[in-house]
C-alpha cells in the first residue's frame, strides 16, 4: 500500500509527540488521535474514525485496557512502522 502524499506528513516521533497515529496519517492521510483499542488478540494502541478502526499503531498487545493506557500515557510502547 503506498504512502499517502500529504504535505502534513510527519515522522513517527513527531506523530507520537502530537498523540496522533503515524500509520493512520501515512496510509490514509487522516490525523487521528491515539487511543486504546481492543481486538481478539488483546488491547492495543491505535486509531479509529467514525467508520471504525483505522490503524494498530503499537507493536505490542496488552492484557488489559489499564495496561495499554499506562503504556500510552508513559510512552512505554513501540510504534509499528509498517501495517
- Within-domain flag for 26: yes
Residue matched to cell numbers 515522522 = 11
Domain of residue 53: give its range.
12-74
- Within-domain flag for 16: yes
- Within-domain flag for 81: no
| CA-CA-CA-CA dihedral for 40, 45, 48, 52, to nearest 10 | 0
The C-alpha cell at 31 is 490525523
Q: What would the pLDDT profile of 3-26 be if each residue is shown by its tens digit?
A: 444 445 689 999 999 999 999 999
Residues 6+ apart with CB under 8 A from 13: none
What rounded mean pLDDT belongs to the chain? 91
- Within-domain flag for 19: yes
Q: What would the pLDDT profile of 63-77 be if each residue is shown by its tens digit?
A: 999 999 999 999 999
Average pLDDT of span 45-62? 98
Q: Which residues pair with 47 in a beta bridge?
A: 55
Q: Quick check: 2 pLDDT over 70?
A: no
| Burial class of residue 26 (count of CB atoms within 10 Å of its CB; 0-12, 13-18, 19+) | buried
- Within-domain flag for 4: no
Q: What is the pLDDT of residue 6?
A: 45
- Within-domain flag for 83: no
- Within-domain flag for 7: no
Domain count, the chain: 1
Average pLDDT of span 23-40? 96
Q: Quick check: 44 pLDDT over 50?
A: yes
Amino acid at each position: 500500500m503506498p504512502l499517502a502524499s500529504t504535505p502534513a506528513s510527519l515522522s513517527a516521533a513527531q506523530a507520537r509527540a502530537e498523540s496522533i497515529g503515524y500509520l493512520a496519517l501515512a496510509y490514509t492521510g487522516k490525523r487521528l488521535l491515539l487511543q486504546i483499542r481492543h481486538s481478539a488478540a488483546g488491547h492495543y494502541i491505535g486509531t479509529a474514525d467514525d467508520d471504525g478502526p483505522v490503524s494498530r499503531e503499537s507493536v505490542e498487545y496488552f492484557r488489559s485496557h489499564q495496561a495499554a493506557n499506562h503504556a500510552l500515557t508513559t510512552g512505554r510502547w513501540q510504534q509499528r512502522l509498517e501495517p
